[in-house]
């Protein structure tokens, strides 16, 4: 949520912000806590793949939640093999 909502807030783009808020409130999106299990997995991903901390937390969250794929525009994340990375 944080990553998506920053730019619309900075630009005062209420339309895009409302779209993101709607997306995150939908039943198709699962929000999970950043708990010790997520931090452990993020630490492993960061150490092995030299990821930035926020990226490692995002990927770890998806992996722990059992997501089948992770959509991103960040080419650096494509090196992670523990989840299917879909480039957009």
- In terms of phi and psi (left: phi > 0; alpha: psi -120 to 50; beta: otherwise), the region of 64 is alpha
For 77, the domain range is 32-88
pTM for the full predicted model: 0.82
Same domain for 24 and 38, yes or no, is no
For 45-56, letters b (16+ CB in 10 Å) and e give bbeebebeeebb
Same domain for 64 and 87, yes or no, is yes
pLDDT in tens, 13-27: 999 999 999 999 999
Domains of the chain: total: 2
Same domain for 59 and 23, yes or no, is no
Same domain for 17 and 38, yes or no, is no
Same domain for 71 and 85, yes or no, is yes
pLDDT in tens, 16-71: 999 999 999 999 888 899 999 999 999 999 999 999 999 999 999 999 999 999 99
Same domain for 24 and 45, yes or no, is no
């Amino acid at each position: 949520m944080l990553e998506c909502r920053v730019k619309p807030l900075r630009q005062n783009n209420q339309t895009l912000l409302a779209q993101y808020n709607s997306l995150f409130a939908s039943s198709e999106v699962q929000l999970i806590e950043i708990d010790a299990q997520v931090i452990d997995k993020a630490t492993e991903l960061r150490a092995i793949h030299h990821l930035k901390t926020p990226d490692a937390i995002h990927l770890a969250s998806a992996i722990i939640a059992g997501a089948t794929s992770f959509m991103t525009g960040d080419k650096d994340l494509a090196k992670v093999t523990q989840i299917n990375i879909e480039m957009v």
